[in-house]
Structures are given as structure tokens and as C-alpha cells.
Amino acid sequence: FGTSPQGREMPLLIIDKNGNFAPEIVRASGNIVLLIEAGIHPGEADGTDAVLMLMRDMIIKKKLFHLLDHVTFLFIPAFNVDGLARFGPYNRINQNGPKEMGWRATAQNLNLNRDFLKADAPEMHAWLKLFNRWLPDFFVDCHTTDGADYQYVLTYMLEIFGNMDADLTTWQRDVYLPYVKSEMDNTEYPVFQYVTFRRWHDPRSGLISGVSPPRLSHGYSALQNRPSLLIETHSLKPHRIRVEATYYMLQYTAELLNKEYKTVKQLISTADTFAASKKFREKPFPVSFRRSSGDSVMVEFKGVEYTAERSDLTGGYWFKYSDRPKTYVLPWFNKPEPEMKVKLPEAYIIPPEWTEVIERLKMHGIKLDYLMEPAEISVETYLFKNPKWRQAPYESRHPMTNIEYEVINEKRIYPKGSVLVDMNQRSARVIAHILEPKAKDSYAYWGFFDVIFEQKEYGETYVMEGIAREMLEKDKALKREFERKKAEDKNFAGSQWDMMNWFYSKTQYWDQKKDKYPVGKIYERKVLEKFLKISDQ
């Protein structure tokens, strides 16, 4: 389904009982589409082996042939094929087998499971094309985790904490989860929700769960109105039993989907329709969540006995896990809350020069319309304040660490070719997370718009010294503001350049586009439809 940066083919296995290998034909048959992905982190090899075993038992041994009754399987055995080629015994220091495995990152040193929304990697471009062609009804991403020791061979995560369609959330929580948990309890591998400790590596601090951002596979799938399962097998357990646990989890997932295929297809259709409706846009939309710090429930957690000693080497706590099982009763903080909500518009409008952003929107399957002539449009947008960035690179970028803005309304002249992003489409959640700056993985956060913060023109100090005096003479309020700023900011008071540039920013020569978000929001449907008619002509 694609080619890696090093030229390797990216394999996709399609399994359909009736030999239907085109998405249109599969959908017409009534089947549900199950996409299973392994090898996004090729050091975590369990998913690849488990699905190949499952395929063998369905297709060759025929003992699970019934799983194909109403389910068409799409299987990516190794998403990160270049990372898989970097094969060796020293790639996963925390992991108990196999003897050799692939490497976590791509040939370009990108982590594909941080790339689903920003889509920098060529591999992700291919994946998005595949995803939007098939629009799978259920998605599974197979991983291996570390970070603590406990009895569970497999932990899981579902997006059931508020970031996806309410009815799909209910189905995952009340139908899917009880079924697979019950079935797994009948194996050697009971499962538990994927959790982290409130304080890293400290089991005493309690358990915490939250909403996954769309840089991650399952967080992205939620925005696309598609239920998803994250499998995290435990790296300290032997490879063989990690594979077996994954096998069973996939088997029981497929069994339930065969029973629930009509319900799931209907729920997804309803969710897509709702996301494209005006009713969806009536309520403030959460674009970020904070993890719960207060409300919790007490749960039994099958851990192991451990000691916590002060390290004489580092001074930190050294948690030493034994092989003796112990069940703990711990607080589980599992009620994340919306951190930031925004009012969704009828459409966003983007000037045509922002080509990289526009191309990424297309990759996500988002429908775009174009202005066929220049137009003056009243929009709401943002004026950024005090922007700051991460100093060290993260996933090849320097994300913003501080995003503050003032909401402003103004008339703008948008050139011919400007892009209208109508929110009347099933991917409305994806659009909002890309274009709302305070969303956790917005394109503002990832630096797609960083150039708006650069000052391109300036006033020379020898020119501004005279102009500044004239400004102070004419405007007593400005003089008071200047004196106050000098008193409050010693760095400012000690820099001739900063002071003269401050005066320059108060003149009509100042760049009126600096720090302004180029994306506008249109709230009136009749205004949007006027331009949609023009773009259709």
C-alpha cells in the first residue's frame, strides 16, 4: 500500500471469504472491515506473530474460518518496514524476547505513533490513503509496553473517556469490553485497562487513564468516528505468552464483530452523519483534556511484591520487583475532564499560500472547496500572545509550549484559490483538531504556522530615536505606558533595540499580519453558501 523512504514495499494482507478485495465491493457485501496493524514499532513483534497465527488458523487449518463470515480483515504485518530492517538483539533493553527484533523509529528517525495527525512521514501518507479508501469499521494497533511489573500479560486501551461519538463510546464500554474481558478471563491471560502510575514508576501513587491525543493511532481513530483497540502486551513476560495473549484478544474481537457487525455499521453511519450536522456544532467542542487529579475509584490491581529503595548510585527510588504475585487495591483516576473547548464554525478559510497545511488536510480525506475569485469576508480568528517553543527537537519539530491568544474579528480579503473547509462533513473532529490552535496536536502546535511569528521589517535605531521622541511628545498615555514597561521589565529597559522596536510596533508601519492566525472562522451559513456557490461555478 506504499513505499518506505528506503524503497521497501509496505505490505497489506486482505482476507475476505468471498475473494472481495476492493472496499466498494466489500461494503456492498455487508461485511464489516477490521484493520489490524502491527510493527509500527518493529521491536514490539508480538502483533505480527499473533496475526500470522490467526490467519493460519482461519485460512489453512480452517478452525477459525467462521471469523470471516461477516468480517473482512486488513492486516499490516509491518507498518515501519525500514525500522524492521534494522534488525538486531540490542533494540529493546526492557523486553524479554524474541532473540532479535526491529528498531522503534523509521529510517528518518520518526516515531510513526506520534505522526497520525501531523503526518510528516512518507509511511503515514500511505497509511492515510489506505485508511480513507477503506474507512475501516474497527481498528486494532498492536504494541508491547514496559514501565512497571505486574501479573497481566496484556493490557488494553479504548477511547471511552469523552473524545469520540457518545453512542460508539457506549458500545465500546458496555458491549465490546465486557465480552472480550469475560472471554479473556477464561484463558490464562486476564486483561486490565492500560494505565500508567500517577508518579512515573511509582506503584504507590495510584493508576491513571486519560484521553489519547490524535498523534497516537487510537486517538486519531476516535476523531474519525471509528472504534479502536490498543493492545499493549507486557515486555517482561516471555515472548511466546505475549503472542498467545494477543492472538486471543484478536480472536475474541473478531468473534464479537461477527455478532455485532450490523450494529457497529449502523452506529458508525449515525456518528458520521451527526459529526456533519449543525447539531454537532451547537455545543462547545473539547479540543484538549486534562487527566483527573481528584475523583477516583478503588480497583483491584494484580501486581507483584516490590521494594522501593534509595539508589546509592543516583539518589532516586529503585523499584525492585519480585516474582511473588500480590493483588493491590489502588485508586484509579479514570475521569479526565475537558481542558479547552471551542465554538466550532460553519467553515474555516485558509489562504492558498499555506500549501503544506492544505495538502495535509487532503491526506486526511477532508473535502475542500476553493474561492474562484478574491473575496472580502468577515471572520473570527486569533491574535497570538507570548508564543514559546520547545528548545530541543521532538519528532523533527519544535512544538509550541505556550499558546495564548486573543479572539479577534476582522474583515479580510482572501485571494482566489483560498480554501473553504466546510464543517458539514464526517471528519469535522479531525478538522477542528488540526485548525484549532489550542488542540493538543494542532498544526499551530506542531509549527506549521511558525513563520507568522517572525518580524520581517524593522526600524533602524537611528531613525526610531527621533520618531520615538515625537511620539512621546504627542501622546502622554504612550509615555506613561513606556515608563511603566521600563520599570517592570529590566531586560527591556536595558536594550536600545527592544525599546526602539516597541515604538516601531506602535506605528502604522508595523506588520499587521504578524502574530495573526491566517486561518479564519466563518459562523454564518448563508455567508459560506454564497461562496460555495461561487466556487462551484
**Which string of b and e fits 180-208 if b means at least 16 CB within 10 Å?**
beebbeebebbbbbbbbbbeeeebeebbb
Listed by start position, the domains of the chain span 2-275, 339-454+514-536, 461-505
Give the mean pLDDT per block of 10 residues along the chain (537 residues): 99 97 97 99 97 97 98 98 98 96 98 99 99 99 90 98 97 99 98 90 87 98 99 97 99 99 99 98 97 88 94 93 95 94 98 99 98 96 98 98 98 97 98 98 99 98 98 98 98 98 98 98 94 68
C-alpha cell at 393: 527537537
HSE of 507, CA atoms in CB hemisphere, 13 A: 18
Q: Can you tell me whether residue 530 is helix, strand or coil? A: helix
The grid cell for 314 is 543516583
Measure the CA–CA gap between 16 and 33, rounded to whole angstroms.
Answer: 10
Nearest to 378 by CA among 412, 350, 420: 412
**C-alpha distances in angstroms, 77 versus 11, 41, 49, 184, 289?**
7, 11, 8, 23, 32
Cα–Cα dist 320/493, whole Å: 54
In three-state secondary structure terms, 265 is helix
**For residue 216, is it left (φ>0), alpha (ψ between -120 and 50) or beta?**
beta
The answer to whether residues 115 and 124 touch, using CB atoms and an 8 Å cutoff, is yes
Q: How far is CA 168 from CA 209, 338, 427, 456, in A?
A: 19, 19, 15, 49
Distances (CA, A) of 152 to 243, 308, 327, 474: 13, 21, 11, 74
Superfamily of 2-275 according to CATH: Zn peptidases (3.40.630.10)
SS3 327: strand
* Contacts with 231 (C-beta within 8 Å, 6 or more apart), sequence order: 47, 140, 141, 142, 143, 154, 156, 246, 249, 250
